[in-house]
Chain A
Amino acid sequence: MAAGVATWLPFARAAAVGWLPLAKKTMPRPPVDKKSRSDEILFVNVSGQRFQTWKNTLDRYPDTLLGSSEKEFFYNEDTQEYFFDRDPEMFRHILNFYRTGKLHYPRHECIQAFDEELAFYGIIPEIIGDCCMEEYRDRKKENQERLAEDNEAGEGGDAPLPPNSTSREKLWRAFENPHTSTMALVFYYVTGFFIAVSVIANVVETVPCRPIIGTVKDLPCGMKYSLAFFCMDTACVLIFTFEYLMRLFAAPSRCMFARSVMSVIDVVAIMPYYIGLVMPENEDVSGAFVTLRVFRVFRIFKFSRHSAGLRILGYTLKSCASELGFLLFSLTMAIIIFATVMFYAEKGTKGTTFTSIPASFWYTIVTMTTLGYGDMVPNTIAGKIFGSICSLSGVLVIALPVPVIVSNFSRIYHQNQRADKMRAQQKVRLARIRLAKKGCTNAFLQYKDDGGLQDHDSGSTALCVKNRSAFEHQHNHLLHCLEKTTNHEFTDELTYSEVCMTESLGYRTSRSTSLSSHHGSSTTCCPRRAKRRPIRLANSTVSVSRGSMQELDTLHVQKTTVVPQSRSSLNARTEDLKLNCDDRDFTAAIISIPTPPANTPDESLPTSPAFPGILRNSRSTTFNPDTVKISSL
């Protein structure tokens, strides 16, 4: 019900007096309104901006936050107002919805922000008024497309393969993203070259060459050097067949691949050759054979794998199918009308070229598209008049749907550009995220170094520890609890990688047997830069995240940007660290923290004295030596 209508309910109830004398049965008792009937003004404070409204206004929509008792959660007793810590600009629109019954979408606002506000206030977006609904829908669709692209760009493309992918997956990836490996790139260029060669050969073989000595007639080159062309054709077809079979083998879903456009083009490109091989050389069939040779030109479409622009064009045409359909339909209508008129106008003329209406179609098309070959020309006055009208209208009819197609193309093209840009920035973005994550972990390690985890009763805690916010304290306490729960400790990746490297030689076999049951991916981990921490015993639990492996890989690269801090003594305690505290400025941002590399669980192992020596030379950041416990060196 519309907003104001609720205020007319008293009137409708009053008008029910008209039924009373006619009533067959007695009337029920009216509901008793326990609350006070007088309307009151409510104060709503949104981030400092105070709004005032009648209570009745808000009560119009009882299934929203402001209309129900849910707003009592936000009531501030001290100031006698409802306080919301949200955007006051958006609240204006929300409140107007209550007042006028129509929700408007502000054009300058971000669609996601608006959606979030609506969700918070319990208003469903479907009730946006007609005036703003179109805009809202368009922006929402655009946003969703963009998000879908981001997801695709994120998960597809250039992310490194999980190490346990089969050769089939690797092959598929090589085909889809040629620049991931050099082999794929080589293959990409080779196929491209052969496509070009094949197309050029098709073209050149029809060019007339100098005749063979002894004959007079010009021969097409295809006939003269038929063997050479045949060999070239065979080679190309072999390459294409090989490529197609490889793709078919590598495709994750063979059915879907076989139905995709590109595979159809591939098949159409190579089929004529094979059919030509099996076809006998008699004259009847070779007519059809000639037709088949035409299909060889479809090889040029194989270039669309190599060119994004072609794909965009194809996609545009597909998405503009309705506009193209309209164009075609209107043109057809116009052609038929004008052809009929021209035919009857020119019927009387002797020796006219307008022999039938279908014959006039040709004239109409040529005139409407302003080609004007001049092979068919009207002679009568009526014919000339209608012919000129025909050419004028042709320009109009063709010009109308074209801007729609152009705008579609432009939109898709820009989307593509944006996707490319996102992909290019992907690496930078991921690296930044990893750096922040690492910063978080390092902050915790630093906190431990500073003795934050120890008892705070003594007054000797470092100033830098005290100055950390309550949030950091609590967060670090939480991480400490996790450490205690799993009986492992957090450490940084450099330490971990060092340890792993030294351990890898002796413990790879034992590790693989113990780990294969857990993760089944141990065989590929060690060749990578970040090695898995060796496991001392078969029954010890190791919690290593696969994800951290690749991140560690990149993190190591980022490490070089960190200013190396040389530690005088690894076993320094809190006291010595006081001076170095303020050099750290790791931001303890809460991004999802990667599961830290596993430490050995057994705390009974002593810190090997030889071990710190190795680490001292290669480490570039501080760490707590207690965290590094290796079984043995």
Chain B
Amino acid sequence: MLNLDGLEMIAVLVVMGLFIKVLEQFGLFEPVGGEDSIEDDFELSTVCHRPEGLDKLQEQSKFTKKELQVLYRGFKNECPSGVVNEETFKLIYSQFFPQGDSSTYAHFLFEAFDTNKNGSVSFEDFVAGLNIILRGSINDRLNWAFNLYDLNKDGCITKEEMLDIMKSIYDMMGNYTYPCMQDDAPREHVENFFQKMDRNKDGVVTIDEFIESCQKDENIMQSMQLFENVI
């Protein structure tokens, strides 16, 4: 139709493009599919969560009022929205272990605390978890530890799960250790663990095996008392 050379075609296209842009600016020409963009801006970005009353929490846990107050103040300071998501959790935990990579272990911890599996740890979850660890019986603590190791929460710890846990703990040590970290140190540690814990040698450790073996081990029993005075 029009006897245009290549360059002239390009020039005409450029002019047309500029024309369309100008019309858009004046609002006379809405490109297709632009209506959704306005409402997106108003989406609420933060979710606010308030914990149960202090009294209720005190009933549910064995902490005193003062202890709960101290706990909440720290919690709220770091997470003003009232819930911790996994990213924040990892960030906080990584500040205590600057040398290594604590993100995997923090992830496992987060899974252990997030009992209702909604992706965030509220203050109640937090208190519940700490209640077990700090104010629970030895058995409760062992149960909690088992729950931590059992990644898929099926009631038994396989070698793979244990290996993951072990690797994550060794990751926290970082590169610079003495003696040098061997690559198979986690695996060797897992073998050790299974040898100790797996009574019937079926390749998995169930909760009963775990508790029984731990109760027999003097060291473990003694060390369970260590963290009583943390709060």
Contact = CB atoms under 8 A, between A and B. Distances in A.
Contact of B193 (A22, A37, A341): A22
B129 to A, nearest CB: 8
A38 B78 CA distance: 20
Residue among B7, B70, B148, B220 with most chain A CB within 10 A: B7
Residue among A21, A27, A30, A381 with most chain B CB within 10 A: A21
B210 A21 contact: yes
B226 A14 contact: no
A382 B222 contact: no
A559 B93 CA distance: 73
A38 B96 CA distance: 23
Interface in A16-35: 16-24, 26-27, 29-30, 33
Contact of A14 (B11, B95, B133, B223): B133
Given A4-B78, A10-B230, A18-B109, A386 B210 contact: no
Interface size class of B (residues with CB under 8 A): 35 or more
Nearest to B93: A12
Contacts of A24: 189, 192
A510 interface: no
Interface string A49-60: 000001010000
Contacts of B156: none
Contacts of B71: 10
Interface in B1-54: 5, 7-8, 10-12, 14-15
A344 B78 contact: no
A389 B14 contact: yes
Contacts of A2: 78, 95
A385 B92 contact: no
Contacts of B74: 4, 7-8, 10
Nearest to A348: B5
Interface string A356-392: 0000000000000000000000001110011001000
B77 A20 contact: no
A17 B78 contact: no
B68 interface: no
Contact of B224 (A14, A20, A30): A20
Contact of B77 (A7, A13, A381): A7
Interface in B150-178: 165-166, 169
Nearest to A2: B95
Given A4-B77, A38-B66, A26 B219 contact: yes
Given A18-B109, A27-B226, A382-B11, A9 B96 contact: yes
13 contacts: A9-B96, A10-B231, A14-B230, A18-B145, A18-B149, A19-B169, A20-B226, A23-B220, A27-B226, A29-B226, A30-B226, A37-B231, A54-B73
Interface of B: 5, 7-8, 10-12, 14-15, 66, 70-71, 73-75, 77-78, 92-93, 95-96, 108-109, 112, 126, 130, 133-134, 141-142, 144-145, 148-149, 165-166, 169, 189, 192-193, 210, 214, 219-220, 222-224, 226-227, 229-231
